[in-house]
Amino acid sequence: MNFFKNVEIASKYNISQATVVKWIQDSNSNKNNLQLITYNKKLRVIDNEHNHAELTRLSLEGQKFRTTSSFIKTQPHPDFYKIFDIEEQIEIINDLRYRKEVNLKFYYKNGGAQMWDEDYKTSGSEMLTAAQSMLNISIDDLSYLTQNKRINLIDMGCGNGHHAKILIDQFQLSKYIAIDISNEMLELCKNNILSWQPQLDFSKYVCDIESSRFGKIFLDNHDKDILNLVLFIGGTICNTNDRVRILKNFASGLLADDVLVFNYSLDSVKSRSEFNLARIGEEGVARAWIITTLGIDVENCEVEVAFDPVEKCKIKSLILDKDYNISFQLNGKVEEVNLKKGEKITRWKHFLLTHDLVFNEIQQANLEVQFMKVVGDHSLIAVKQKT
């Protein structure tokens, strides 16, 4: 007969192993309805539907009587309010409250750009090398689509600009337009681009790709006999929660001849086990700096890197070792977020997709496919406005 290990119950129901032992003792005294067996002279909780329901009841009952007096009360460091604007602060609060995550995009601020640049150069990530390979074999297709016109290369989530270098070398560019949420990242990109092409017309915009619309940017950089080639590369779309919304944001700004190119990771046994970017470096104060800024003791948190088969998503999480009550000050209004010991706070996520799913999302955004390239477990796709 199958049974739970105490550590499995503790992990699944966000409780301590001491609490599990107490529940087992209470059951033996008829104080709850857990069904037990004896194995190696120890009482164990049987793995069955009855006990699943009873364990859920016990954990919820425990939470009902849990008071905030057990929580460590903390508040963000003053730098939190300087680094993030009010809209970003609200998004971080809601993500913590409802998703138990801090969006990866925010980590590219406050020194995060430099760390990402170092990771990019040392990770050996198959996703990043595949992106370069797919762009390389797409040059002829892109030349056909752009009809040998001059091109504005609009780099969405530009990073350090390295993934765009092959296009800068191959095409006659009118402008290079960098777009990123982090001004530090934009400066890093600018230094790289102008070191390769000192005479290239470079401009930059600080924008949140998940919430911004781009019609004015696309139009302002459009001219007769010049079209926009919009690049969204590096698998960044796989790190976002609402891909359709992002594609619609892009689509709403594309003009008739403009081309959007993006890439994504395919779901496979191999891709589920590739965690190079997630595993780089120690998950200490520097890398999890936002969570540290909120007053959470990062160094005592356990780090978990795993694949979620339900969400089809690779995730890196910090497992809290304490209860926290975080008090945010928003224009004179106090917003509190309670986080419990054992809860997992997502630091990084990467969804693995299928072609059918991506094609469906492209259709929802009123776009149509022009060509597609596949290298291993990674795909690159070019789309235009649906005619």
Q: What is the mean pLDDT of residues 281-304?
A: 84
Compute the distance between CA of residue 252 and CA of residue 214 in angstroms, rounded to an integer: 7
- Minimal CA–CA distance to 300: which of 312, 288, 314, 311? 288
Output the pLDDT for position 124: 67
Residue whose entry in the numeric block shows the structure tokens 């917003």: 335
Compute the distance between CA of residue 214 and CA of residue 245 in angstroms, rounded to an integer: 13
Compute the distance between CA of residue 76 and CA of residue 337 in angstroms, rounded to an integer: 11
At 312, the pLDDT band (50, 70, 90 cuts) reads: very high
Give me 323's structure tokens.
Answer: 């209860």
For residue 78, which amino acid is it?
Answer: P
Per-residue pLDDT tens digits for 37-59: 988 888 899 898 898 888 888 88
Q: What is the mean pLDDT of residues 106-112?
A: 92
Question: What is the percent of the chain with per-residue pLDDT over 90, rounded to a whole number?
Answer: 59
CB 170 within 8 A of CB 118: no
Exposed/middle/buried for 128, CB within 10 Å: 0-12, 13-18, 19+? buried
CB 101 within 8 A of CB 346: yes
The reported pTM is: 0.81
Q: What is the mean pLDDT of residues 132-152?
A: 89
Give me 79's structure tokens.
Answer: 């730098």
Phi first, then psi, for residue 345 (nearest 5°) are -100, 115
Give me 114's structure tokens.
Answer: 């430099």
Q: What is the dihedral of CA 348, 365, 185, 276, to 10 degrees?
A: 30
